[in-house]
Amino acid sequence: MSAAVQSIDAKPADTQELTDGFHLIIDALKLNGLNTIYGVPGIPITDFGRMAQAEGIRVLSFRHEQNAGYAASIAGFLTKKPGVCLTVSAPGFLNGLTALAHATTNCFPMILISGSSEREIVDLQQGDYEEMDQLAIAKPLCKAAFRVLHAADIGIGLARAIRAAVSGRPGGVYLDLPAKLFGQVMNAEAGRKSLVKVIDAAPAQIPSPDSVKRALDVLKSAKKPLIILGKGAAYAQADEAIKSFVEKAGVPFLPMSMGKGLLPDTHPQCAGAARSTVLKDSDVVMLIGARLNWLLSHGKGKSWGDAPKKFIQIDIEPKEMDSNVEIVAPVVGDIGSCVAAMLAAMGNGWQAAPADWMSAIAKKREENVGKMAPRLMNNNSPMDYHGALGVLRTIIKERPDAMLVNEGANTLDLARGIIDIYQPRKRIDVGTWGIMGIGMGYAIAAAIETGKPVLCVEGDSAFGFSGMEVETICRYNLPVCIVIFNNDGIYRGTDVNSAGHDPAPTVFVKGARYDKMIEAFGGKGVNATSPDELKRAVNAAMDSGKPTLINAVLDPAAGSESGRIGNLNPQSVLSKKK
């Protein structure tokens, strides 16, 4: 037992001011500006949630920990402060763990705080209530994991968790708080002194001048340069510097899904609508906060073409360099510092990319946009993806500061291409893993953290993973409009099972009315069968700020297997492909 805890024996109990684990955790969170908790109550954290709320922390109580965890993870992305998720032991912890792993994979700062059972019983495997060695299980799935056993160590424990989450490449951190800790009593003054306010939690990491010069030399030598902006660039909140750099460089840019809006998708240098051309034909590619993972086909293969290519990479994580292909100019540092250093080193008289490259891209972009335009204006009923997304595209154009949440397969891939984004960090989606289930958690955190209206564009399958949180959205009366692209199933609603009476694995109840779900909790439900109806309903929802769920009736035959990534499905040589 620590000296601070022992010291309570030194004076009679009634003459000294006491504090306890509950209060120290709350004080430590508040001291570090962590004023929001996303979680689900239960033993041993129920009272903690109540007390935190009473002390002014915003406590958002969810219906399932995974959704609370996703909310915390995206809160981290949006604010650069660790999002906090609070769960009960064993099953609650495991439910939150998916989100913690997701945060780590996506480089979002998050802290999963979980209550846990009695160490003495857990370690002897004597069958405690919700027994589990949570710390051991969390470790491989997050950036760091800590356990606090003494009240006097709460301040240090939280400080370590905060630093681990936000410094360097951000990620998920697990903080294990055994039930006994909450009630542990210690001298209040000693308690206050034990708290740590984390100074400069994510110190700037300045790139070496040589690496900056090398990168600019390579960029300067390019005939067909390309800049790719990843969600790391969006996370950095160096929006002005990034915009100035891209414009001064005069290089076409391709935004990754959550990098959209750093510069508007309608910017003349945006190559989003000419993606395959720029990947194939570019000769120098500068990655800014984007990794060469599967989302960029690992930087090689068919989609990158045969032309020789040089890669420049700006990333805070040195190990990211050469992960898939050779990086001829690695620039290691935080994105803000790196881009600022680039801007400073470019000097005056930087030559924009050659005009023939820019005009080839502009031509391709106009061709593709022109081909798409009539499809976006169709008023078919039931709707197809393009008709429905044409409407939502206009709505976001008119409301560029709204938050857009997006998940699904076709619903995701087509919305990403069709809905232009105009401001940084407005589009939040399935991320690196392409997971379903982020929808309602993200929507809730987006509303809470930004105070802006939220539009969720959800496949009917995707929505199902977190659908119960519509109650949470109604309970907190959040300005969230959920549009469900209801095509009766996963990818399509038309599969049939030729071998028996069970439905095919990819189809759902036909003609389901998701709009009725939100009515059960006092929200507004709308069934929209045409683009016109959809437009009216979404605009009304965004104007009212009232929780709304719109069941957008899509043609069950609209959509293709796995959206744009059908090629990743393994094929059987024994069964013929339809």
Ligand X SMILES: Cc1ncc(C[n+]2csc(CCOP(=O)(O)OP(=O)(O)O)c2C)c(N)n1
Q: Give residues in contact with ligand X (CB under 6 A).
A: 408-411, 434-437, 459-462, 485, 487, 490-491, 559, 563
Applying CB under 5 A, which of residues 406, 487, 530, 551 lies at the interface with Mg ion? 487
The entry of Mg ion, ligand X, none that residue 410 binds, CB within 5 to 8 Å by partner kind? ligand X
The entry of ligand X, Mg ion, none that residue 170 binds, CB within 5 to 8 Å by partner kind? none
Stretch that binds Mg ion, among 100-108, 169-177, 324-332, 455-463 (CB under 5 A): 455-463
| Residue 459 in contact with Mg ion, rule: CB under 5 A | yes
**Whole-number minimum distance, CB 53 to ligand X, in Å?**
31
Cα separation values, 510 from 8, 113, 460, 476, 489, Å:
66, 41, 11, 31, 8
Query: Measured from the CB atom, is 330 or 408 closer to ligand X?
Result: 408
Query: Measured from the CB atom, is 188 or 372 closer to ligand X?
Result: 372
**Whole-number minimum distance, CB 505 to Mg ion, in Å?**
13
Query: Measured from the CB atom, is 89 or 432 closer to ligand X?
Result: 432
Query: Measured from the CB atom, is 225 or 464 closer to ligand X?
Result: 464
Query: Measured from the CB atom, is 162 or 436 closer to ligand X?
Result: 436
List residues bridging with 404 in a β-sheet.
427, 455
Query: Measured from the CB atom, is 245 or 463 closer to Mg ion?
Result: 463
Applying CB under 5 A, which of residues 130, 131, 315, 460 lies at the interface with Mg ion? 460
The CA distance from 196 to 548, in Å, is 42
Q: How many residues bind Mg ion (CB under 5 A)?
A: 3
Place of tokens 């069958």: 127
Nearby residues of 464 by Cβ (< 8 Å), 6 or more positions away:
none
The CA distance from 467 to 60, in Å, is 16
Query: Measured from the CB atom, is 105 or 237 closer to ligand X?
Result: 105
List residues bridging with 500 in a β-sheet.
none
**Whole-number minimum distance, CB 463 to ligand X, in Å?**
7
Within 10 Å of residue 360's Cβ, how many Cβ atoms?
17
The entry of ligand X, Mg ion, none that residue 563 binds, CB within 5 to 8 Å by partner kind? ligand X
Quickly list DSSP for 47-74. Answer: HHHHHHHHTT-EEEE-SSHHHHHHHHHH
Looking at beta carbons, which residue is closest to ligand X?
A: 459
**Whole-number minimum distance, CB 85 to ligand X, in Å?**
17
Sheet bearing 58-61, strands edge to edge: 58-61, 36-39, 83-87, 110-116, 172-178, 144-147
Residue closest to 59 by CA, chosen among 51, 32, 447: 51
Query: Residues 73-94, buried b or exposed e (16+ Cβ, 10 A)?
Result: bbbbbbbebbbbbbbbbbebbb
**Whole-number minimum distance, CB 63 to Mg ion, in Å?**
22
| Residue 495 in contact with Mg ion, rule: CB under 5 A | no
**Whole-number minimum distance, CB 527 to ligand X, in Å?**
17
List residues bridging with 178 in a β-sheet.
116
Query: Measured from the CB atom, is 167 or 487 closer to Mg ion?
Result: 487
The CA distance from 392 to 419, in Å, is 7
Inter-residue contact 556 to 532 (CB < 8 Å): no
The entry of ligand X, Mg ion, none that residue 434 binds, CB within 5 to 8 Å by partner kind? ligand X
Query: Measured from the CB atom, is 271 or 512 closer to ligand X?
Result: 512
Nearby residues of 149 by Cβ (< 8 Å), 6 or more positions away:
119, 178, 181
The full 3-state SS of 105-140, as one line of letters, equals: HHCCCEEEEEEECCHHHHHCCCCCCCCCCHHHHHHH
Query: Measured from the CB atom, is 32 or 487 closer to ligand X?
Result: 487
The entry of ligand X, Mg ion, none that residue 436 binds, CB within 5 to 8 Å by partner kind? ligand X
**Whole-number minimum distance, CB 421 to ligand X, in Å?**
20
Place of tokens 């959800």: 458
Burial (CB < 10 A; 0-12, 13-18, 19+), residue 411, is buried
**Whole-number minimum distance, CB 487 to Mg ion, in Å?**
4
- Reported as type and span, the H/E element at residue 405 is strand 403-407
The entry of ligand X, Mg ion, none that residue 462 binds, CB within 5 to 8 Å by partner kind? ligand X
**Whole-number minimum distance, CB 484 to ligand X, in Å?**
9
**Whole-number minimum distance, CB 331 to Mg ion, in Å?**
41
The entry of Mg ion, ligand X, none that residue 96 binds, CB within 5 to 8 Å by partner kind? none
Quickly list DSSP for 303-352. Answer: GG-SS--EEEEEES-GGGTTSSS--SEEEES-HHHHHHHHHHHH-S-PPP
The CA distance from 373 to 363, in Å, is 15
**Whole-number minimum distance, CB 293 to ligand X, in Å?**
16
Query: Measured from the CB atom, is 134 or 411 closer to ligand X?
Result: 411
Stretch that binds Mg ion, among 92-100, 274-282, 412-420, 453-461 (CB under 5 A): 453-461
Binding site for Mg ion (CB under 5 A): 459-460, 487
